[in-house]
Structure 1
Amino acid sequence: MLQPNTFHFALALTMPLFLAGCLTIPDQPTVERGTFETPEYQAQKGLSVIKASHLYARGGTGQGVTVALIDSGLNTDLSEFEGRIADPGFDHVENRPATHDRLGHGTQMAGILAANKNNQGMHGVAFNAQLIPFRFGDDNEPFFFDDEIALSWQDGFDKGARILSNSWANSIPATEITEARYNQVMPQSLVTARKLVKEGAVLVFPTGNELKREPLAEPGLPLALPELEKGWIAVVALKNDGSVINAKSNFCGVAAAWCIAVPGGDSGAGQGLLTTGKDGKYVQTAGTSPATALVSGALAALQSRYPELSAQQIREHLLATANRTGIYANSEAYGRGMMDLDAASHTPPKLHAD
């Protein structure tokens, strides 16, 4: 996320069996997970904490899944994104197809989400997923760009993305948001969010970087609009070893029922998560923004493990399998717990069929 008073950029299985009204999918054979624990994997420290190699060994790498990245754009000519761009998206700042990333924030989020597994630097959690990047607003509050956000969500959805990664949030506390107030500041986004959630989308948001006990407006929006909850995830950032909440992250608070915790790095040299810089170099990033990108990518990777499930069913399974032991049992801080891709990819989903 950026500084105060600026824009908060926090970007073949068998057929399912229906048993007792629930959807279950048999496990599948695995390959050795150590195969995936390469220097590239170890360099992005959050991957081992969330046990991503277990998911990879079971076939979940993001293959065939598209994510819309609504952020400051993406420098798509970098080698880390070769083959990772499903569509050039749109640059609302320069009003043209394909994006430029002046700030570098979107490119960093894209790296966390889906940078290539190519024996260079690091790789994204869903290294075989596809991205559709959008650029809006750069460094101003999102409500100034309500129409651009709504158009980006809809365009991404129309082009096949059911996971919409949003590493930004308005600075209004979630506890102060009502339907009427949100309709004043983000009317077009509200209409589009309702429509897309009804049609199966999942929107991911950061709780914010103010070290408060409650999240910002967007991550907590289902408090005012409960119908959004089935397509919503709020994300808390842990230190990059997963030990405790980092030095900036807001708690899950009122968003606890749809909130999850993941590494987001921390302040200080070498304490962030390694990702792609806009100039092609590797840089450290920290906060709830990269944590949000990590969860968006995890949804994509898990979707490729269970392709018969909808994005919203994947969302519920990811939340249901989070680690709630020890400190993570504190739902005010950690919501549903710390994301665990071993449990999520090993335990067959038992979800009510749509």
Structure 2
Amino acid sequence: MKLLNKILTSIVCSTLISGNVMAADDCSNLKYKQEHPEHCQYAATDTNTSTYLMIGASVAAAGATIVALAGGASGGSSSGGSSYDASAQQYYSRTIMPTMISHHAVGNDISVSELESVISSREYDTSAKEYDDIQLAYSIARGYTGAGTTIAVFDTELGTFINERGREETQHAEYVLEALSGPIAPNATIEHHAIAYDKDNFMKYNPIGNIIAATNGANVYNNSWNVESIGADTIHSRKQLINLTSQNFVDAVSSAATQKDAIFVWAAGNNYSAQSGMLSAMPNVMPELNGHFVNVVAWDSETSTLADYSNACGVTQNYCITAPVTIKKQNGNVRPGTSFATPVVSAAIAVIREAWNYLPAATITQILFDTAADLGETGVDEIYGHGMLDLEAATRPVGTPTIAINDNVVQPLQIARVSASIAHNIKSANPTMAFFDKYGRDFETSVAGNISAQNRGLGFERLRGDDARVKFAFGDMEFGFYRNDMLSSTGFLATNGDTTTSYIGTNKSYNFGGFELFGRTQIGVARPQASNESVISSFSNIYTASAYVGVRGNDWSLSVGMPDTIVNGTMNLHLANGRTSSGDIVYNNYKIDMASIPAVEYTANWRFVTAGYVDNPYGTDEFYVFAKTKLSF
């Protein structure tokens, strides 16, 4: 029957630590092995991988695969499939010790006081070292709680059971749910699905497949169990996997990924082997699971290395990640088992889904992998996979930020340079906009925070003088047009070069005691044009005014006045504001009042040399000196 009717059982595969009992002089004792690594470097217990069926104290040689919960429950002992792999221990003894990445100049959106508030909380403090390893404080400070995501937990029944020693023992699922209820994603919805009656009595694969198939509405499928007597590296085909499990089980997993866009998060197992358990190999023979499957190995935050019970990633390295165990026993020690590192990753996925609920599963898993903190050998490796889960990096922008001009045009988000008066008006309106990272995730930012005020450069305008002006005079009246850069800007607020202003003005002068008193007033109108790569959708007519008075001698003059100032007009912004749950970009329109306080310009001229000082109400003040004359030949 191709093993389809085999009886499954669970074997607790984590070696348990007892802080109150003296460690035996035995390398199979975890406490002794931790304290005497020099004695246990190459030691191993039974490496027999024969597939014996274990039910309580009885043994039946049925050729069945041993199914194991990938984390211990209190009071249990290791048995069956929980043997150590001698070759794996030798392999680990030669590996490079990891160095945790230090985070500098990141999380700039989070203040120190916000982080301190999170870190000082009682809930965070219970597993502070573990939470620090995954940079949890940042995602909490950013307000993420996992809301809107449903995590389906496939595990034992709840409550307690009587173990083979006749003692009451807490069900394995209770600890998995405890890990999920922590501060990573406290508002995620948790569904419990029993696939084992207790840690020693699993259902067959067919009914497990039925339970998976009947699960609807869940986004994350947490599986803190595995087949530990068979390594992932021994699974080479879909047919082989079906023979070892069942067609119904394989079909249910495949359908959940392809039809429901679910993400499976699977415990690697606890044999301290160089390879994860058999079920972790599924994406290697079921390509449709790529992007829908995360294999989890456990990190020991005390020793800063792979936990000494955890399997390594092995052949699953391309979809494998490392995470610490965050739940602890009454004595304060971490409850060992990749079972309890797995829900840490499931909760992290809930955080990403809450922030960007339009992301498909494949993008979410890619974010987890790309933002993981590298451990061990550089890059993806056979022990830690992509590295340590990093919730700070996973919840901040990755890659070059871009902004959407419209649904068809995007451009890199760069600082836009605009005139000081316009910058002031934009900052006063304080519009916000969305920008997007390499995964298309939207992040909010202020427009004001991405603009730089620039002065008009009146000295250059004065140097150009009448060369930039076409005018017609009738007595004291003058009209014409000229070009200036009063409204020129760059970046996402770009306009099409200099603006042409049509104007009408008056020029008056009076002779007084050998001096000439003069005055000039002008009003103008312009209609600037925005660039096609600008978030400016349009301008209204922009009305300007200027006025000067002064005194002139034979070869000198002094004047004071108001250079061109916008007295009326609006600029309309079309800004992306985020995405809908289906991923469509949402836009908001803002109308910016362009009227501004005038600058005051003081000028002095002697022959062909002119000096000026501009008192700008918004930008920096300007001082200019230039010489201008005509050469005749």
TM range (shorter): 0.7 to 0.9
CA deviation profile, 1:75-120 (whole Å, cap 9, x unmatched): 5xxxxxxxxxxxxxxxxxxxxxxxxx9642111111111x2xxxxx
Task: Flag the 1:209–1:182 CA change in 2: closer, same or farther, 3 A.
Answer: same
Aligned: 1:40 with 2:123:
yes
Tell me how far apart the structure 1 counterparts of residues 206 and 265 of structure 2 sit (CA, whole Å). Answer: 19
Q: 1:260 aligns with which of 318, 321, 324?
A: 321
Tell me how far apart the structure 2 counterparts of residues 145 and 328 of structure 1 sit (CA, whole Å). Answer: 41
Task: Flag the 1:208–1:247 CA change in 2: closer, same or farther, 3 A.
Answer: same
**5+ long unaligned stretches in structure 1:** 12-26, 76-100, 116-122, 265-272
Aligned: 1:111 with 2:111:
no
Aligned: 1:54 with 2:138:
yes
* RMSD, aligned α-carbons: 3.0
Shift of residue 298 of structure 1?
1.0
Using the TM superposition, name which of 61-70 and 51-60 deviates more: 51-60
Q: What aligned pairs does 1:268-347 form with structure 2 within 5 A after superposition?
A: 273-275=326-328, 284-324=334-374, 329=379, 331-347=381-397
Tell me how far apart the structure 1 counterparts of residues 149 and 283 of structure 2 sit (CA, whole Å). Answer: 26
Aligned: 1:148 with 2:214:
no
The letter of the residue matching 1:299 is I
Question: 8 Å contact 1:67–1:130 — kept in the other structure?
Answer: yes
Secondary structure, counterpart of 1:218 in structure 2: helix
Tell me how far apart the structure 1 counterparts of residues 375 and 273 of structure 2 sit (CA, whole Å). Answer: 23
Secondary structure, counterpart of 2:205 in structure 1: helix
Aligned: 1:239 with 2:300:
yes
The letter of the residue matching 2:306 is I
Aligned: 1:191 with 2:283:
no
Equivalent in the alignment of 2:270: 209
The letter of the residue matching 2:386 is R
Secondary structure, counterpart of 1:230 in structure 2: coil
What percent identity do the matched residue pairs reach? Answer: 26
CA deviation profile, 1:212-248 (whole Å, cap 9, x unmatched): 1111111122122222122111011110347100111
Secondary structure, counterpart of 1:219 in structure 2: helix
Shift of residue 33 of structure 1?
2.8
Shift of residue 315 of structure 1?
1.6
The count of residues paired between Structure 1 and Structure 2 equals 293
Task: Flag the 1:241–1:287 CA change in 2: closer, same or farther, 3 A.
Answer: same
Task: Flag the 1:65–1:283 CA change in 2: closer, same or farther, 3 A.
Answer: farther
Task: Flag the 1:290–1:54 CA change in 2: closer, same or farther, 3 A.
Answer: same
Equivalent in the alignment of 1:175: 233
> Is the strand fraction higher in 1 or 2?
2
> Is the helix fraction higher in 1 or 2?
1
Moved over 3 A (4+): 3-7, 27-31, 281-284, 325-330, 351-354
The letter of the residue matching 2:122 is P
Q: Which of the pair has the greater relative contact order for Cα pairs under 8 Å at 6+ separation?
A: 1
**5+ long unaligned stretches in structure 2:** 1-10, 15-53, 55-65, 72-106, 160-167, 399-436, 442-582, 584-633
The letter of the residue matching 2:257 is V
Tell me how far apart the structure 1 counterparts of residues 380 and 255 of structure 2 sit (CA, whole Å). Answer: 33
Shift of residue 330 of structure 1?
5.9
Tell me how far apart the structure 1 counterparts of residues 288 and 233 of structure 2 sit (CA, whole Å). Answer: 17
Shift of residue 125 of structure 1?
2.0
Aligned: 1:8 with 2:84:
no
What TM-score comes out, normalization by structure 1 length? 0.74
Tell me how far apart the structure 1 counterparts of residues 139 and 303 of structure 2 sit (CA, whole Å). Answer: 18
Secondary structure, counterpart of 1:134 in structure 2: strand
Question: 8 Å contact 1:61–1:302 — kept in the other structure?
Answer: no
Secondary structure, counterpart of 1:248 in structure 2: coil
Q: 1:163 aligns with which of 220, 243, 246?
A: 220
Question: 8 Å contact 2:232–2:281 — kept in the other structure?
Answer: yes
Question: 8 Å contact 1:52–1:342 — kept in the other structure?
Answer: yes
Question: 8 Å contact 1:109–1:289 — kept in the other structure?
Answer: yes
Structure with max Cα Rg:
2
The letter of the residue matching 1:192 is A
Shift of residue 35 of structure 1?
2.5
Shift of residue 284 of structure 1?
4.4
What TM-score comes out, normalization by structure 2 length? 0.43
